[in-house]
């Protein structure tokens, strides 16, 4: 995703100095408390396995810009009482500073609605600066997607400061106190800013793999300080209660170690860490919202109240459609998608259905229709591949706990011999996310041979790595065990029995004619042709991508899943197999089901009003399917967010649309 609102550079002429209090302690590498002299730090991306496990700073003089002459004069003149001595010192300082260039003021940009102050040294390398700002924009967009607009506007009041390389403050942090900064030799203008001392950290993938919501953590500190107040009695009481219960003394860290939770540092860190888990993903257990609700229900209830939109009215069924329509059309106006089809059912009854925008805008315009056909992208994984695997499991032809190599001996190379079928379904097999496109030349057979040569990045069960490669392997497994091409097996065992007449790989011409267009590739617009380049090089049929369908067909599939694998008397697998498939399972940093998402870093499209039993998935082209058996709800959101320029984004929009539909649906229950 690119920048949406970056204003031209302009010099910073106004610096606001506001008083504030220090944040608290850091922790050393073994989890013990370290020096309290540093302000709140979220991520050290070089050597520390966790951003908070940092020692305090050394007592060396800070490296960087020299103090301003006025600061020097104030410090030195204060002890001198004799008028002549004071004037001599002033004269000395003026002479000694003659010819020196004062530090340049930071420039200012608007990034996703936030005021961002930028070190001029960073701007000297403009390509680097633009890359950093684009990365920052992507993560601020994530914040805008997971919070109500009213809360986003509050968080946008908190400015961000990016330094090129500040060696004294080597991690992201929030500075509440001007006094602390001044007393420790730092620029007091940093007060009340979210501070990124090293711009390169924004480009370090290790930072975001470990701490994808570290900027949210710092924004939570700013919100706590400037909106609630650090002395907020309710948060302090919740912190004291949490400590008294002892539930945070020995918790799982993202890397598998058990350590004291960083939330124990003080009530400020308790609030910020809990906010990370509630709105995104944390690196300490509880990692996600569902776990927070179970582990610390009082804090969870408080955050529900705190981060909800107080201005959101309870809508009537009559105005609900208008509200959803406005959300969708605003997204179209903002360039997030060209159009969408949305459907929701409860107890097999369609309670909402709409089609807005266009299926194609260039070179010709085609309006979106309720029966528009969509490239499902990664929705292929659960709907076609995982469901096919479970059909084979149900027939006793595949053992989930057996090594994949039992069925595909050629896969057992370079340390992959112990990876099980279940590992691949849960994305915990340690396989790479994607191998090089050059591996898919000249044909599908060569692509498979190259894929079998890949080496895993981790042992099975150690890491969650969302892997297209893993599902390509599962697709081959279906073909090997069934003796049929993947598309034929899925058609005969899933789509035809469920009446999904417009679902399948390689759509025929009549379906292609009403397909939503994605991007232009090699001078041709992709309409009814798979967008994923690896699937395309495998002939359009693969376990990870390539399936096409309509909203109505997906709604039917979801309703069958609400009926434990059965639709109108036709069963695709047994109740026991269904339960095995959809049961939530713990994986590193979240929960998944077999082929499905439950609560993980990929759950930004999950409706908040769906129950904890819900499972779902998204697709790169802008497709979303969530199923809630407990409430008998199915939600389908299909968009062409890649058309025409590949820059749209709809994950959080999909969740907002689902929640808007459910705001007041008592008549539909």
Residue 88 confidence (pLDDT): 57
pLDDT band of residue 14 (cuts 50, 70, 90) is very low
Chain segment 496-537, per-residue pLDDT in tens: 999 898 999 999 998 998 899 999 999 999 999 999 999 999
Residue 99 confidence (pLDDT): 46
Range of lowest pLDDT (24-33, 120-129, 316-325, 431-440)? 24-33
> Domain boundaries in the chain?
10-62+104-221, 239-307, 323-668
Alpha helices of 350-420 — where are they, by DSSP H? 380, 387-394
CA angle 54, 57, 59 (to 5 degrees): 160
Per-residue pLDDT at 640 exceeds 60: yes
Q: Which two tokens stand for residue 518?
A: 């994605």
Helix axes 651-661, 126-146, angle to 10 degrees: 20
Per-residue pLDDT at 33 exceeds 60: no
Chain segment 276-301, per-residue pLDDT in tens: 988 877 888 888 775 788 899 999 88
Q: Name residues whose C-beta falls within 8 Å of residue 295's C-beta, 6 or more positions apart in sequence.
A: 247, 285, 286
Q: Burial level of 97, CB count in 10 A (0-12/13-18/19+)?
A: middle
Q: Which two tokens stand for residue 631?
A: 């409430």
Q: Which residue has the higher pLDDT, 470 or 53?
A: 470
Residue 354 confidence (pLDDT): 83
DSSP letters spanning 249-314: SSEEBTTS-EE--GGGG-HHHHHHHHHHHHHS--SBSS-SHHHHHHH-HHHHHHHHHHHS-TTPPP
Q: Which residue has the higher pLDDT, 471 or 316?
A: 471
Cα 58 to chain centroid distance, Å, stands at: 35
pLDDT band of residue 462 (cuts 50, 70, 90) is very high
Residue 205 confidence (pLDDT): 62
Helix (H) or strand (E) holding 476: helix 468-482
Q: Name residues whose C-beta falls within 8 Å of residue 530's C-beta, 6 or more positions apart in sequence.
A: 375, 536, 540, 545, 546
Per-residue pLDDT at 199 exceeds 50: yes
Tokens 């539930």 label which residue? Answer: 247
Q: How far apart are CA 296 and CA 49, in angstroms?
A: 25
| Strand ranges, E, within 320-456 | 339-346, 349-360, 366-367, 374-375
What is the percentage of the chain residues whose pLDDT exceeds 70?
80
Per-residue pLDDT at 57 exceeds 50: no
The predicted model gives 35-47 an average pLDDT of: 35
Q: Does domain 323-668 correspond to CATH entry 3.40.1010.10?
A: no
Q: In the 8-state DSSP scheme, what is residue 31? A: S
Strand pairing category for 114-118 and 160-162: parallel
Q: How far apart are CA 50 and CA 277, in angstroms?
A: 16
Contact 622, 636 (CB under 8 A): no
DSSP letters spanning 235-255: HHHHHHHHHHHTTTSSEEBTT
């Amino acid at each position: 995703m690119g920048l949406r609102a970056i204003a031209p550079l302009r010099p910073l002429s106004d610096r606001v100095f506001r008083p504030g209090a220090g944040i608290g302690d850091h922790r050393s590498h073994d989890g013990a408390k370290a020096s309290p002299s540093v302000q709140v730090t979220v991520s050290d991306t070089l050597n520390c396995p966790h951003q908070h496990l940092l020692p305090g700073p050394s007592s060396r003089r800070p490296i960087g810009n020299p103090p301003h002459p006025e600061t020097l004069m104030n410090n030195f003149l204060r002890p001198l009482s004799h008028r002549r001595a004071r004037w001599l010192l002033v004269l000395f300082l003026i002479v000694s500073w003659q010819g020196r260039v004062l530090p340049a003021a930071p420039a200012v940009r608007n990034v996703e609605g936030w005021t961002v102050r930028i070190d001029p040294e960073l701007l000297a390398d403009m390509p680097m600066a633009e890359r950093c700002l684009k990365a920052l924009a992507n993560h601020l967009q994530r914040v805008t997607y997971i919070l109500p607009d009213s809360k986003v506007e509050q968080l946008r009041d908190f400015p961000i400061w990016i330094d090129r390389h500040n060696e004294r403050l080597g991690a992201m942090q929030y500075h509440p106190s001007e006094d602390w900064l001044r007393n420790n030799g730092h620029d007091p203008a940093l007060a009340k800013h979210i501070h990124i001392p090293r711009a390169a950290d924004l480009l370090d993938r290790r930072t975001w793999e470990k701490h994808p919501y570290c900027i949210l953590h710092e924004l939570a500190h700013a919100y706590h300080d400037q909106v609630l107040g650090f002395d907020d009695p309710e948060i302090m009481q919740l912190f004291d209660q949490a400590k008294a219960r002892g539930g945070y003394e020995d918790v799982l860290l993202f890397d598998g170690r058990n350590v004291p939770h960083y939330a124990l540092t003080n009530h400020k860190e308790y609030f910020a860490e809990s906010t990370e888990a509630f709105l995104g993903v944390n690196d300490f257990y509880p990692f996600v919202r569902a776990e927070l609700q179970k582990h610390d229900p009082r804090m969870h209830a408080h955050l529900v109240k705190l981060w909800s939109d107080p201005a959101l009215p309870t809508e009537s069924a009559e105005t609900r459609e208008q509200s959803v329509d406005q959300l969708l059309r605003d997204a179209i106006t903002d360039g997030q998608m060209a159009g969408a089809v949305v459907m929701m059912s409860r107890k097999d009854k369609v309670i909402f259905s709409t089609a807005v925008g266009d299926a194609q805008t260039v070179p010709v315009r085609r309006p979106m229709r309720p029966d528009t056909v969509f490239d499902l992208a990664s929705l292929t994984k659960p709907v076609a591949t995982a469901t096919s695997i479970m059909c084979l499991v149900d027939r006793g032809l595949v053992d989930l706990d057996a090594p994949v190599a039992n069925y595909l001996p050629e896969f057992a190379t370079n340390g992959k011999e112990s990876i099980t079928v279940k590992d691949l379904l849960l994305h915990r097999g340690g396989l790479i996310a994607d191998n090089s496109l050059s591996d898919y030349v000249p044909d599908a057979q060569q692509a498979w041979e190259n894929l079998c040569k890949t080496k895993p990045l981790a042992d099975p069960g150690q890491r969650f790595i969302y892997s297209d490669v893993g599902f390509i392997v599962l697709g081959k497994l279906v073909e090997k065990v069934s003796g049929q091409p993947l598309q034929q097996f899925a058609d005969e065992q899933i789509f035809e029995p469920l009446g999904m007449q417009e679902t399948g790989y390689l759509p025929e011409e009549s379906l292609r004619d009403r397909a939503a267009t994605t991007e232009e590739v090699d001078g041709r617009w992709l309409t009814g042709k798979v967008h994923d380049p690896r699937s395309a090089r495998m002939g359009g049929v693969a376990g990870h991508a390539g399936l096409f369908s309509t909203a109505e067909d997906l709604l039917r599939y979801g309703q069958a899943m609400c009926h434990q694998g059965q639709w109108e008397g036709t069963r695709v697998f047994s109740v026991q197999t269904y339960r095995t498939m959809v049961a939530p399972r713990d994986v590193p940093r979240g929960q998944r089901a077999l082929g499905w998402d439950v609560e993980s870093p990929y759950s930004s499209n999950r409706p908040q009003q769906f129950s904890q039993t819900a499972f779902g998935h998204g697709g790169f082209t802008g497709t979303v399917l969530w199923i809630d058996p407990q409430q008998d709800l199915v939600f389908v959101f299909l968009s062409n967010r890649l058309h025409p320029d590949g820059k749209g984004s709809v994950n959080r929009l999909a969740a907002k649309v689902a929640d808007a539909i459910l705001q007041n649906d008592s008549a539909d229950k």
